[in-house]
Amino acid sequence: MLDREIALRTDKRLTNRLATAKLRFANASIDFSTHRGLDRRNVLSLAQGAWLKANENLILTGQTGTGKTWIACAFARQAARLDYSVLYVRMPRLFEDLALARLDGRFPRLIVNLARVQLLVLDDWGTHTLSDRQRLDLLEIFEERTGANRP
């Protein structure tokens, strides 16, 4: 009975973490049968989460349409399974949210919330040129996360 209760609570925590994460692909997983040029050993090593424990960043690069978002969501989903809090945000949406938060006084709280999450997935880098304000906002997020020892 105790094992069942523990399993139920663990499942509920994972369900809540995944809902809060707002992943673009909530069921993403890495399928090695599809050739994406991924090093299986490296991917499996990253899936263990040592980079998260060490507060390191993971940067995925590649051409448009190669599956970077899917892979990022798969790693984020695995991080949630490892009991890390996760948030997925597209950069254009992040900048909209930051601009609105600046106008209505929520900016400091939003920055703190972005720093609090253990894994912040920032997607769609480079889709447009950043303004000076956006660069400063990113710096603010990175500085706050660095102070909180977050990747």
Q: Which residues contact 5 (CB under 8 A, 6 or more apart)?
A: none
* Nearest residue to 53 (alpha-carbon basis) of 28, 83, 30: 83
What are φ and ψ of residue 146, in 5° steps?
A: -65, -40
Write down the pLDDT at residue 28: 73
Cα→Cα distances 35→28, 44, 88, Å: 16, 16, 25
pLDDT of residue 43: 82
CATH class of 13-149: alpha beta
Q: What is the pLDDT of residue 105?
A: 96
Determine the pLDDT at residue 99: 96
pTM recorded for the entire structure: 0.82
Name the nearest CA neighbour of 121 among 37, 59, 33: 59
Q: What is the pLDDT of residue 127?
A: 79
Binned average pLDDT, 10 residues per bin, the chain of 151 residues = 76 78 78 72 85 88 83 90 93 96 96 93 88 95 83 68
